[in-house]
């Protein structure tokens, strides 16, 4: 077994956007329960997520945005930033933990204390742009983590892999002019946030796919498009925006991936990392809203990391 960190924090469950909102605290509990039920929890090294510091966030976001977000935080009730994205009194702290988890993950992996890490956190991040919260996201957790690897640890090339059903518009926005970061993604199209198909930078491989796309087509895309791009870039660390709303049973989207597809793609990424002379992978939770399939898919992904 590989040493795999599981980084989470109870603050992440205190952020709530209304009792019927699909991006709910129970998402984390569902994954945690499944880790225990499968016995996988015993093979993971658990860490509390620290709060991200302002200097970490400023690598991905503007100072004006950070200040505006802090000023929007309510003392009680909910404040909506868009129709889907709201802050309660705990949101800011949860978002700081979610971003801080990625920072700690990078530090642990770079120090060799663990070989890879999964950040079991919410709110998710990949829709958050440099100066804009949207789509349930406030800080772009994967971007903050990748920039920490580049700026604090001196890496020169990293990759971000995104298999959420939605395009990671925020990640594209933040790294649009930064070819140190190759981004490969697959997403349902046309679909929210209706981005990712035009004016794509050369260092990003966005693969829009129609509703109904299943795992066999996904695997072909990984082979034909993702892996060649990753091999060419030779990333010194691989980041994963791990969204499980691309699962067959998740009604948030209409793709047809199943547990084995997430395990398979994770193994491919482990193999690419090894080809690049290391095993450094940091994965962070994005979407996934059917609690049952979310838990099964996330555990299949984490198990693949831990067995690598
Ligand atoms: Zn999503």
Neighbours of ion ligand 1 (CB under 5 A): 164, 166, 243, 245, 287
Question: Which letter does DSSP use for residue 126 in this model?
Answer: T
Q: What is the Å distance from ligand 1's center to 141 Cα?
A: 14
Q: What is the Å distance from ligand 1's center to 227 Cα?
A: 22
Residue 127 annotated among the catalytic residues of the structure: yes
Q: What is the Å distance from ligand 1's center to 209 Cα?
A: 14
Q: What is the Å distance from ligand 1's center to 17 Cα?
A: 16
Which of 127, 166, 189, 233 is an active site residue?
127
Per-residue pLDDT tens listing for the chain (308 residues)? 789 999 999 999 999 999 999 999 999 999 999 999 999 999 999 999 999 999 999 999 999 999 999 999 999 999 999 999 999 999 999 999 999 999 999 999 999 999 999 999 999 999 999 999 999 999 999 999 999 999 999 999 999 999 999 999 999 999 999 999 999 999 999 999 999 999 999 999 999 999 999 999 999 999 999 999 999 999 999 999 999 999 999 999 999 999 999 999 999 999 999 999 999 999 999 999 999 999 999 999 999 999 98
Phi, psi for 137 (deg, rounded to 5): -115, 145
Task: Give the C-alpha separation, 67 to 80, whole Å.
Answer: 16
Q: What is the Å distance from ligand 1's center to 294 Cα?
A: 12
Of 282, 278, 215, residue with least CA distance to 246: 215
Inter-residue contact 170 to 143 (CB < 8 Å): yes
């Amino acid at each position: 077994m590989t040493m795999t960190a599981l980084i989470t924090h109870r603050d992440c469950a205190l952020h709530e956007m209304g009792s019927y909102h699909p991006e709910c605290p129970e998402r984390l509990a569902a994954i945690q329960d499944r880790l225990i039920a499968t016995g996988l929890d015993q093979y993971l090294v658990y860490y509390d997520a620290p709060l991200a510091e302002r200097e970490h966030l400023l690598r991905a976001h503007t100072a004006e945005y950070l200040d505006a977000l802090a000023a929007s935080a309510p003392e009680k009730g909910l404040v909506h930033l868009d129709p889907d994205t709201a802050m309660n009194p705990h949101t800011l702290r949860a978002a700081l933990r979610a971003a801080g988890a990625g920072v700690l993950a990078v530090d642990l992996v770079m120090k060799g204390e663990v070989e890879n890490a999964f950040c079991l956190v919410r709110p998710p991040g990949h829709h958050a742009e440099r100066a804009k919260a949207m789509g349930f996201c406030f800080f772009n957790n994967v971007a903050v983590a990748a920039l920490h690897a580049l700026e604090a640890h001196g890496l020169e090339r990293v990759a971000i892999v995104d298999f959420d059903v939605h395009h990671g518009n925020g990640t594209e926005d933040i790294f649009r002019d930064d070819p140190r970061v190759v981004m490969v993604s697959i997403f349902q199209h046309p679909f929210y946030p209706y981005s990712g198909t035009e004016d794509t930078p050369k260092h990003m491989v966005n693969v829009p796919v129609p509703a109904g796309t299943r795992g066999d087509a996904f695997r072909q895309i990984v082979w034909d498009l993702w892996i060649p791009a990753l091999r060419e870039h030779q990333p010194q660390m691989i980041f994963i925006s791990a969204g499980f709303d691309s699962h067959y049973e998740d009604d948030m989207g209409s793709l047809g991936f199943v547990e084995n597809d997430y395990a398979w793609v994770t193994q491919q990424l482990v193999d690419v990392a090894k080809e690049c002379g290391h095993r450094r992978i940091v994965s962070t939770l994005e979407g996934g809203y059917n609690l049952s399939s979310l838990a099964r898919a996330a555990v299949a992904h984490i198990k693949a990391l831990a067995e690598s």
